[in-house]
A and B are shown apart, each in its own frame.
Chain A
Amino acid sequence: MEYLPNIIFTLLAVASIGFFVKNVKKLKRNIFLGKDIDRNDRSKERWANMFRIALGQSKMVRRPVSGFLHIIVYVGFIIINIEVLEILLDGVLGTHRLFLPLLGDNVYGFLIGTFEVLAFLVFVSVVVFWIRRNIIKIKRFWNKEMTSWPKNDGNNILYFEMVLMSLFLIMNASDVHFQEINIGNPISQFLAPFFNSLSTESVHFVERTAWWIHICGIFVFLNYLYYSKHLHVLLAFPNTFYANLNSKGKFPNNPTVTKEVQTMMDPNADPYAMPEEPEGEPEKFGASDVTDLNWVQLMNAYTCTECGRCTSVCPANQTGKELSPRAIMMKTRDRLEEVGKNIDFNKGSFVDDGKQLLGEGYITQEEIWACTSCNACVEECPVNIDPLSIIMDMRQYLVMEQSAAPQELNSMMSNIENNGAPWPYNQMDRLNWKDEA
């Protein structure tokens, strides 16, 4: 019976980490449903980007208030996790504050003191975040795509953090021995007096309860990630690493089209030659579903934490159009999840469900055609997500597979085909301006 808590703890830890790993595998499987794209070049620049943008949060602080608060929560999250290591070891070994005798009062006190200050600052920041979302109602948290789940998801994360930080401080405040040492309790010493009136047994009970709820909360939070926008805490790193490094204006050239055009323009090509039999299915141009996108675009969708900075700078969205770059990412993730579940349900293969990412319930053509390709969303994203690339792939599908461009664009394109300009002017007149008054 003496080892019962250790056993329960170990089982809990193994179960929660196991479940998390299972979901990570599913996440990876889903991401690699996307097409291959080579993003392993220029590794130096990639590492630099990851350090600067993900680890260094360089793009977050472009909005100083949320950026500063986010850095506090981020630093707190990482550093307080050192304490989780001790908690895990204590849980498995049945020890209490294992590191205290190993590090000595002063070093241990310094560490825990730092964690306490951070926990307090994280708590305050998270409260401010909650106020910004729910009281000040900052517009980007209330756009159309922020339906009940995305809103609740955002708040749930804040509640989790508030509760976890409070429990950490209560746990320290109700630890009589730790308070007696009186080093490393810069915050919890102010909470300790609340427990003075309680009996020693009761205070111990409070301390144990806080300890258990705290670590169980962490296990739950860990497993909440996969179902939440909060996945960005992990995916921001690979996402910035594998992000596009070229000029933002450079859109990829489709190599299949290049081959076709080269053959057409080759004066030595035999016009009567039988076309080569294409291997397998003919390639589909552009994207109408998640599996037509590349894996980086799919990883983008899982990385998006729905902050809405992209949408807040989108010229189309600001002028009341349907398009919201954030919604493009959210719908991509939703559809990808749906496809993933379909594959799980059908034992490893996707069975056509009559749905597509570009279509009913997901992305509409109206959204796709409202984009000005201005790259503001791409520039703004704190973790280098590229909604524009998805929009452009969908335009390619609409035009090359469906011939479904708006009528005016069809006229523009036939002008280019016929007379080499988007307007119906004769190519021979291109130099007329020279002699005009």
Chain B
Amino acid sequence: MNVPTMAEMMTQGKQPEVLFWVGCAGSFDDRAKKITKAFVKILNNANIDFAVLGAEESCTGDPAKRSGNEFLFQMQAMANIEVLNAYEVKKIVTACPHCFNTIKNEYPELGGNYEVVHHTQLLKDLLDTGKMTIEGGQFKGKKITFHDPCYLGRANDVYEAPRELIRKLDVELVEMKRCKVNGLCCGAGGAQMFKDAEKGDKEVNVLRTEDAIKVKPEIIATGCPFCNTMMTDGVKNKEKETEIEVMDIAEMIANAQDL
């Protein structure tokens, strides 16, 4: 796997077309690391000129801001912006909708102006420009539902890019009753990922998994490492892990391409 860092690129006097912002989940979470690798394989396969920050990357500050710690958020943001601006980064792609939202919407005022895309948007672009082709492969004819990440969908109105990619896999895309603008949260946002839920009668991820189970999918597709964790746990809770798989769109495409 070819994963150049910005520092390496710089010593060679090169400037990559796009920076892949891996994110904390993508760097450290065992499940999310598989998504990261799948995405890198696709980028390598399509000969995309990219680099990562590696050890120079740090949390965007999203969970701090959503927990109310504006100070910590801005410390993180400005430190990251300093690094990004030093490398003269123009375009950023990330597989995490939380990183995507924060860098895209909250960094500009603090001096960080970049073109920021979600990995499904970049992949759709590769498809549209012929830099990548998708064939159904092992997914052909399978019933797949897509869970909209809140920070991709409602927060930033990205609904179509992930769906177009899924359709290209020759699958049967079935929508849950609540989808797109009406999509139900997986329960992880707003820093809920890092704490126990308040007292209630159910977990949000279980409720969302029930939504998905109703349409009887073979795969629940997501575009967010946190949604992925929540839905995977939900499927386990419902003891459906032998019937339903939870996969990121990047993983599905990499698998279909036998990467």
Contacts and interface: CB of A to CB of B under 8 A. Distances in A.
Q: Are A and B co-members of a single complex?
A: yes
Interface of A: 246-251, 253-254, 257-258, 260-262, 264-265, 285-286, 313, 315-316, 318-323, 366, 369-376, 378-379, 392, 394-400, 405-406, 408-409, 411-413, 416-417, 420-423, 425, 427-434, 436
A370 B70 CA distance: 19
A417 B151 contact: no
22 contacts: A248-B156, A249-B151, A250-B106, A253-B74, A253-B109, A262-B78, A264-B75, A285-B70, A321-B197, A372-B187, A372-B192, A374-B185, A396-B68, A399-B67, A400-B70, A412-B191, A416-B61, A416-B64, A421-B59, A430-B28, A431-B52, A431-B54
Contacts of B79: 265
Given A315-B185, A420-B58, A420-B59, A409 B71 contact: no
Contacts of A366: 198-199
Given A321-B200, A421-B58, A247 B76 contact: no
B86 interface: no
A319 B201 contact: yes
B57 interface: yes
A406 B181 CA distance: 30
Interface in B52-90: 52-55, 57-59, 61, 63-72, 74-76, 78-79, 82
Contacts of B75: 261, 264, 417
A253 B70 contact: yes
Given A251-B106, A316-B200, A374-B185, A412 B67 contact: yes
Contact of B155 (A247, A323, A369, A408): A247
Interface string B201-245: 111100110000000000000000000000000000000000000
A400 B106 contact: no
B72 to A, nearest CB: 6
B68 A412 contact: no
Contact of A399 (B69, B156, B192): B69
B198 A316 contact: yes
Contact of B24 (A248, A262, A421, A431): A421
Interface of B: 1, 3, 5, 22, 24, 26-29, 33, 36-37, 52-55, 57-59, 61, 63-72, 74-76, 78-79, 82, 101, 104-106, 109-110, 150-151, 154-157, 181-185, 187-204, 207-208
- Helix, strand, loop or mixed for chain A's interface? helix
A273 to B, nearest CB: 20
A404 to B, nearest CB: 9
A155 B49 CA distance: 64
A260 B71 contact: yes
Contacts of B74: 253-254, 257-258, 261
B203 to A, nearest CB: 7
Nearest to A369: B198
Contacts of B185: 315, 372, 374, 376
Contacts of A373: 66, 150, 189-190
A73 to B, nearest CB: 25
B184 A322 contact: no
A323 to B, nearest CB: 7
A264 B82 CA distance: 13
Most buried by B among A249, A250, A323, A395: A249
